[in-house]
Structures are given as C-alpha cells and as structure tokens.
Chain A
Amino acid sequence: MSGGILNRVWKSIFRHGFPENERLRSEAITSNLFLHVHPVKVYRETLEFPKTLGLGLISFYLFVILSITGVLLMFYYVPHVDRAYQDMKDLQFVVSFGVIIRNMHRWSAHAMIVAVFLHMCRVYYTASYREPREFNWVLGVFLLLLTLFLSLTGYLLPWDQLAYWAITIVSNLIGVAPLVGKKMRYMVLGGTIVGQNALIRFYVMHVIVLPFLALLLILVHFWRIRKDGGLARTNEAAEAAEEREGDPQGEELKSYGLMNLVEGKTPHVGQDPDRMVTAWPHLLVREATLFLFVMIGIMAMSVLFDAPLEEMANFAITPNPAKAPWYFVGLQELLSWGNPIYGGILAPMAAVLALLLVPYLDRGQVGTAEWIHPTRRRAILIFTAISVTAIVLIFVGEYMRGPNWHLYWPWQKWPIH
C-alpha cells in the first residue's frame, strides 16, 4: 500500500517515470523549473571539455557556494565596529565548523575572480562573442565588475588591519575622480572616514544589493545562451546562412513554421540529429561532475589553508606596506607611479570600455569557436598584451613591494623597522 502512496507522491511531483527514452528525457527537462534552463538537446561538439574548459559553470558554482556559505556566516556576523572583529574571532575559534565555512567563503571568492577572468579569456580566444552573442559578452563584462565589487565590499567586513587599510586606499581612489570624486567617496563611505557608516554600507551592498544584481545578470546571461543558439560552434554561421536560403520547394520551412517563430536559432527537427544528444543525461552528468570537482577543490583548500585575519582595525597605525586586495593591487601599483587620475581612473575606465566594445569592433568571420585562430593574430596579441600587463602589475604590487613601497625581489628579505 505504502508503495502505492509513494508512487502517487512521486507522480504528483515529477509527472513521469525515470527518463529512459528520448521523449521522457525531453519531458524531464521541460517539465522541471530548474532544469528547463537547459535545451532538450545539445550539440555534441559543445559538450567537449576543451571547447569551454567549463569555466562559466565553475564561476556559477562558486557563486552558489558563496551564496550558501555567505548566508551561514550572516547568522553569526554583526556589522558593528565593536563586534565585527570579535565575531570573526568566534567564527575562527568557537563556532563549530566556523573556520571551514569562512575559509570556503574566502577561497571561493578568490577562485571566482580567477574563474570569471579565465572564462572571459576563453570566450575571447575562441571568438565566441561574435554575432549573435555580442550582448552576452557585454553582460559578462558587467558580471566581472560585479564579481570584483562583491569581493571588495566583502573585504572590509572582517574589520581587521588588512581590511581597514585596503578600503581606506580604495575609498581615496574614488575620491580622486574629477568633479564628483569627493561626493562619491562621501556617499560610498557614508561620511569622511572608514567607520561605522562605511561598514554597514559595505555590508548591505555585499549581502543584498550586489548578489541580487549578480544573480539577475547571471540569469539573463544563461537565458541569452539559449536565445543566441547555444554555445558557439565552428560551422554555425554557414549552417544558419544555408537555412535562411531554405529548401527550394519551401516545404521544409513551412512544416516547421512554429519553430521558426524563434528565428532559426533553436535546434531544428531534422537538422542532423546525429550531431545532437539529449541534455538528460549527457549535459546534466557533466554539470554534476564538474560541481563535484569544484566542491572538492574548495573543500581541500578550506581544510588545508586558513583565510587570513590580522589584528583588529587600528586607524592610528598603517601597516607597512599597506596593500589593497590582490585584484586591485595592480591598480595600486599604477597609482604609485604618479597622478592618480591616470592610474586610478582613466586606465581602468579605458580597459572596461575597450572590453565592452570588443564584440562590436571585431568584424572577423573566420575562427569562431576555435582556439587562437591564426587569422586573429592582431586581436589576440592586443588582448594578451593587456592581460599580461595587468597580471605583471598585480605581481609587482603583491610580491615585489616592501615597506614604504620600495622595490624588492620576491625572495629578498625586507628590512626590519
């Protein structure tokens, strides 16, 4: 009898049995709110790991891990200057598994910046941003910025020396912007110093505003992948052109009239079925496997390495040297060279603008969805040069700057003050 009831419960939720044939497999995807972001069928070629390296998914999984561990941390953390640091100490030493949860949050945040950056590199080096995917690239640039802002706002919350002085530097960076700089800084900090107002502002941005915006953009980003015809494929432009010309008798177009409501970009019936497989199980299994690897990586990091926590924030003593978070330390390095308007404002703005324009400036047709196609030599050289410059700046700032911002080799010892 109980088997009968269980069966009825199962049927009331899933409406179908185990998806053992193609019809049920497509139903498994379309009848499920969470799965139906996937297409029913995907091209075999887009499932190949070396095509994407799974970097977009890895970024998303890190976002999920960050959301869950972040909510857990919120149960103990109070954003008040008298309590924040104590709560961090409690999480570190008193709360059960507190240190693991915090480590996971910290390492996932770092990893997400790296993953999002590498994802951007992958899309660039495979020219996957080309028509019709230009706008999804733009969304991706905004997601990269949101990832950086999320990390930055989270950086202040532990209220230790590292946090306090990094945010002091970054907030003054905002202050050097022409005309509106001082007002912006006042609004961001909620005052003139990094104090209680700044802490609560960063907290609200970090736990509500920015994650919500990021989630929204992620959903649009995913949705656009579907609407733009799935992941970029090598011959897709040629296929689409062929399709537009259509069958001489016009019969084929007519019989699939409903599909054509969405302009020719969805997987069509009768379109070389051999090259497509059902998302269940081929795509889902790969996604689940990748998630396991991400979890294993983050767990291993969190068990082996503890996130840093320095002494409590002390506005009287600047640590020497004081450094911004590593992903902004390249900017800090630029800043140390001279006029902050060039290094701190114009250079990053030019970089973001250039990124936004990439898909609209590229007129190439050849080499879409292929790694580092020889016809794209100039585009690839420019992108690589800028990326390497950014990485070198970060490396110099992080590993080669000692007390008073003097240059040292990474293996050189700093003088003791």
Chain B
Amino acid sequence: MSEMSSNIIVVILVTSFATYLSRFLGVVSSEKIKETSKIFKWFNCIAYSVLAALIARMVIFPAGELAESGVVIRLLVVAVSVVMFLFTKKNLVYPTVLSAILLSLLNSYL
C-alpha cells in the first residue's frame, strides 16, 4: 500500500471515530435519562433546534457546490418546495425532485 492510500485510511478512521464518539456518549447518557424527564424534553428541544440551525446554515451559508448559487435563489427554491410539500399532503418526493431541477435551471439561466 502506498503512503498516500494508507494516509487516506487513517483519515477515514479518525473521521469515523470523531463521529462515533458523540453517538456513543449519547447512548451512555441515555441510560440514565427517562423519556418523561425534564432533561429529556430539554435535549429534545435542543436536538430539533440544532438541526434547524444546521439546515438554515446549509442554505444561507453553504459549503461546497451550493455556494456557487445565489442565496436569494436558494431561499426561493426552499420556500417553493415547502409550499409544494404542504399542498401535496406532505409528499416528499415532489418537492425534493422539483428543488434539484429548479435550482439547476435558475442557476444556469439567471
């Protein structure tokens, strides 16, 4: 194995360990937390708001390819998709497919 590829394996192992750590510690803590407790409710709120914060960040301050589209276009695509989700009785296939096509088109023609 070349030095480059063994280096990649180590990077993958370090990444997966850093990721598993939070999941593992979460299970350890869960052993002592009842689902009816106040601390559970508090963590539940934090989990939802951390996810909302992450998603909002992905849309407003994206990394990678998305950064090459305009923020107004991205927000518009997300808004149109959510409206479509609500109008199709919470069907998730239409808005997700639509969003990809819409953003690709708007980005190449605007």
Chain A partners chain B: no
* Residues of B near any A CB (own CB < 8 A): none
* Residues of A near any B CB (own CB < 8 A): none
